Structure 1
Amino acid sequence: METELRTSQAARACECGATVWLTGLPSSGKTTIAHAVAGRLRDEGRRVEVLDGDEFRLTLSSGLGFSRADRHTNVQRIGLVAEVLARNGVLVLVPAIAPYADSRQAVRERHDGSHTPYLEIHVATPPSTCAERDVKGLYARQAAGEITGLTGVDDPYEAPEAPDLRIPAHEQSVAESASALLSLLVERRLI
């Protein structure tokens, strides 16, 4: 009976939801790390969703531009969906730039209001490395004058001052970055 109770408590502990927001510059590795973590958790039978900022831009936020107000609205939309999923037992990984500290703080406050765990992870890859990776061609297009408002180049990025975890993705492998995040989730008793 005692073993069944411990097993039942452990199962409940692993069913709590949380939002894990990965913020960083374009091409910093946010999405790659999020999918690596999600894959490992799914392999363990965990309910997990990745809410990719780029996918939101194509769907629920398709009418928004890149002004400060529109970026704030986009982050709040993602934050709402993440909070609803998380408070219903899903571990939500959100790889989204979210360049402004006040926008990220508003999402944290939404989670605090529903007593839903929220972690902010800074994928701290320097702009030079992001420009070298340039997985979407944004840095090249900005350098060629085809686009403006690239976060961290000609538009602001306010790096978190005190994130729950700072990942130097330029100094370690994807597997090492994913392991660091998984270790934090274990430490915080979220998995």
Structure 2
Amino acid sequence: MATNITWHDGLTHAERSKLRGQNGLTIWLTGLSASGKSTIATALEQHLLHSGIAAYRLDGDNIRFGLNKDLGFSEKDRNENIRRIAEVSKLFADSTTVSITSFISPYRADRDQARALHEKDSIPFVEVHVDVPVEVAEQRDPKGLYKKARAGLIPEFTGISAPYEAPENPELHIRSDQLTVEESVTVIVEYLTSKGLVRL
């Protein structure tokens, strides 16, 4: 750990929000593989951007192939993956961007740590459990991952050979097998506006 660094105070989060005319926050989508997280996150990002709100989506495509390409899928690496994502997401949110994360993030302690990181600096954190029975996720299986996991080709696969610890008190609980993508986005946006987190 570096010891020869000094923190320099700059604009506060509140000052940035006032200057940009928008609040920054993190919307943290968690759920099993094939639960629909990324599809909902993509649609939500597009909706917010079309509404004039700066938003950015973080998911496996732009994190696992870049910042976290040195990490595997052991429990230790999954912990570090989520730790880094939480830090990056907080930076986006601190810049007053709506940061949308879409990761399985299977361990409750890791998600709680991400929340605490935001709350320490009074940055809103909205946990969204995109919930679907594992049987439905297996039926969807767009990347064939469940099939490979059942065949023993993917060790430590969440929901099959590795645990998923569902959120106990998420801000939102979305059953993606019961709602369309559009309906799911509406649920999230209505929550954000009702709490004054975004202004459409």
2:87 paired with 1:83: no
Post-superposition CA distance 1:142-188 (Å, at most 9, x none): 12222111101110100001100000000111111111011111112
- In 2, distance between residues paired with 1:182 and 1:12? 23
- In 2, distance between residues paired with 1:71 and 1:14? 35
- In 1, distance between residues paired with 2:40 and 2:163? 23
The Cα RMSD (Å) is 1.4
> Offset at 1:32?
0.4
SS at match of 1:59: helix
Provide the residue aligned with 1:182 in structure 2: 189
2:139 paired with 1:132: yes
Q: Is the 8 A contact 1:26 1:130 kept in 2?
A: yes
Return 5+ residue gaps in structure 1 as ranges.
1-10
Q: Is the 8 A contact 1:86 1:116 kept in 2?
A: yes
Provide the residue aligned with 1:116 in structure 2: 123
> Offset at 1:14?
5.6
Aligned positions of 1:1-191 closer than 5 A: 15-191=22-198
Give the number of equivalent residue pairs.
181
> Offset at 1:53?
3.1
- In 2, distance between residues paired with 1:95 and 1:84? 16
TM-score, normalization: structure 2? Answer: 0.87
Bigger mean CA offset, 89-98 vs 56-65: 56-65
Q: Is the 8 A contact 1:36 1:178 kept in 2?
A: yes
Provide the residue aligned with 1:5 in structure 2: none
- In 1, distance between residues paired with 2:126 and 2:174? 13
Provide the residue aligned with 1:7 in structure 2: none
Q: Is the 8 A contact 2:20 2:96 kept in 1?
A: no
SS at match of 2:99: strand
Q: Which AA in structure 1 matches 2:119? A: D
- In 2, distance between residues paired with 1:88 and 1:107? 17
Provide the residue aligned with 1:4 in structure 2: none
Runs of 4+ in 1 over 4 A off after TM superposition: 11-14
- In 2, distance between residues paired with 1:54 and 1:135? 15
